[in-house]
Amino acid sequence: MTTKYGLPEEVKFCKRCVMSNQRPVSYPEFKHKPDRKAPTIHFDEDGICDACRYAEQKEQIDWQSREEQLLQLLDKYRRNDGQYDCIVPGSGGKDSAIAAHLLKYKYGMHPLTVTWPPIMYTDYGFQNWKNWIEVGGFDNESHKPNGRVQRLLTKLSIQNLLHPFQTFILGQKNLAPKVALRHQIPLVFYGENEAEYGNPIADNSTSLRDKSFYTTQHLNEIYLGGVSIPELQEKYDIDLVDLLPYLPADHQQLQAFPLEVHYLGYYLKWTPQEAYYYAVENTGFQARPFRTQGTYSKYNSIDDKIDDLHYYTTFMKFGIGRATYDASQEIRNGHVTREEGVALVHKYDGEFPDRYFREVMDYIGLDPEEFMELCDAARSPHLWEQVNGDWTLRHQVS
């Protein structure tokens, strides 16, 4: 049977969490084209996914010696001359909140926080960002890109890739290194390493972020919304200056400046639930009083109205919705059992996110019916079948 996106033909579910082997692993966004073949998460011979194996390894880590390594790194860069000594990118969500707060108030660093705002702020997202700065107490630089261009690129990324969140991911990944270069701040700290959730385990053995995620030497290798830079300029009449916010830092500038990009989660044991409690306590973070559609949680990634749609599209493309991501992580952290996780996936995965749907479609100027047609066209036949006129997953976690 043919599969889309180069997905593995045989669908398997991890024996420990509820993740399936269809989950793509991190891949430089700006290389993403309609015909890309996504590398997917590795399962070992016992049927356990790399994310679960990494969670197991994490239990063996000597966190005290990791913290000592962190102290050495911070001692090397700490400044007391009134200048910033590090950058913490983020939205004021729980992870960036705890990262910035620990660095400034526990470790005596002088972070500049840097924000790539959501495409469409939720009220809670905007309030949490404000509280991060006001209650947490940080300087912040936000970079809001040209709205007309962002709407167009978001629409193209849906039409060409069914990937509504691409402009956000690109801006968010690329902004901090560029701000670091501009201000000559040599240290950037992200919170947790997304590789923990499924990249090859070797990626987690270093605290340094892979440079391929934020540099590239050639402009014509870069695609936004699945369209090349020259085509965006010619066909859509977009000025290069309006595309720059999405592009990686200049390769030559990066080579000339010794920038280090680290994950705090490499040095400190990081669990989402603890980050949540810490952020509530110290930076005025608030969960939403209502459940996020497509899952059961109230505090993960609640800043952007488009986020819910993003997970709906992963459900279409890979058969993996937001509840699968959330439950897998919580099983690994010991907060829910696998049996509970399976029930949560059956109950919430793939729920249609209608709360902001119309508003999002109006904003980017996409016909809701076209969106639904794009979703159906994105369903890989090895994952989906029609039963009595309804789309049904061929394989479900059990």
Among the listed residues 7, 11, 14, 149, the single contact to Zn ion using CB under 5 A = 14
The residue number whose beta carbon is nearest to Zn ion equals 14
For residue 333, the minimal CB distance to Zn ion (Å) is 12
For residue 372, the minimal CB distance to Zn ion (Å) is 31
- Put residue 301 in one of left, alpha, beta given phi > 0 → left and psi -120 to 50 → alpha: left
Subset of 17-36 contacting Zn ion (CB under 5 A):
17, 19
How would you list the strands of the sheet with 86-89, edge to edge?
139-142, 111-115, 86-89, 187-190, 260-263
For residue 56, the minimal CB distance to Zn ion (Å) is 10
Which span (9-17, 128-136, 138-146, 285-293) binds Zn ion, by CB under 5 A? 9-17
Subset of 26-85 contacting Zn ion (CB under 5 A):
49, 52
Structure tokens that stand for 274 in this block = 């603890």
Cα separation, 345 vs 20, in Å, equals 12
Among the listed residues 7, 11, 13, 16, the single contact to Zn ion using CB under 5 A = 16
For residue 53, the minimal CB distance to Zn ion (Å) is 8
Which span (7-15, 24-32, 75-83, 354-362) binds Zn ion, by CB under 5 A? 7-15
Q: Are 20 and 11 in contact (CB under 8 A)?
A: yes
Cα separation, 246 vs 150, in Å, equals 9
CB-wise, 190 or 197, nearer to Zn ion? 197
CB-wise, 41 or 88, nearer to Zn ion? 41
CB-wise, 15 or 347, nearer to Zn ion? 15
CB-wise, 49 or 170, nearer to Zn ion? 49
Cα separation, 294 vs 361, in Å, equals 18
CB-wise, 16 or 155, nearer to Zn ion? 16
Which span (15-23, 106-114, 229-237, 241-249) binds Zn ion, by CB under 5 A? 15-23
CB-wise, 49 or 86, nearer to Zn ion? 49
Rule CB under 5 A: say whether 254 interacts with Zn ion: no
Which span (13-21, 74-82, 105-113, 237-245) binds Zn ion, by CB under 5 A? 13-21
Question: How many residues line the site for Zn ion (CB under 5 A)?
Answer: 6
For residue 4, the minimal CB distance to Zn ion (Å) is 23
For residue 328, the minimal CB distance to Zn ion (Å) is 6
Structure tokens that stand for 386 in this block = 């029609």
CB-wise, 43 or 124, nearer to Zn ion? 43
CB-wise, 16 or 32, nearer to Zn ion? 16
SS3 category, 331:
helix
> Of 47, 44, 2, 5, nearest to 25 (Cα)?
5
For residue 130, the minimal CB distance to Zn ion (Å) is 37
Helix boundaries (H) for the chain: 50-58, 63-77, 94-101, 123-131, 147-161, 166-183, 229-235, 240-243, 251-256, 264-267, 272-283, 307-318, 322-332, 338-348, 357-364, 368-377
Q: Are 180 and 259 in contact (CB under 8 A)?
A: yes
CB-wise, 19 or 180, nearer to Zn ion? 19
How big is the CA angle at 139 (ends 84 and 174), to the nearest 5 degrees? 75
Structure tokens that stand for 84 in this block = 């910033």
Residue type, 208: L
Q: What is the DSSP string of 51-94?
A: HHHHHHHHTT--HHHHHHHHHHHHHHH---SSS--EEEE--SSH
CB-wise, 173 or 332, nearer to Zn ion? 332
For residue 121, the minimal CB distance to Zn ion (Å) is 33
Which span (10-18, 67-75, 262-270, 372-380) binds Zn ion, by CB under 5 A? 10-18
For residue 42, the minimal CB distance to Zn ion (Å) is 11
Subset of 354-373 contacting Zn ion (CB under 5 A):
none
CB crowding 257-284: b at 16 or more within 10 Å, else e: eebbbbbbbbbbebbbeebbebbeebbb
List interacting residues with Zn ion (CB under 5 A). 14, 16-17, 19, 49, 52
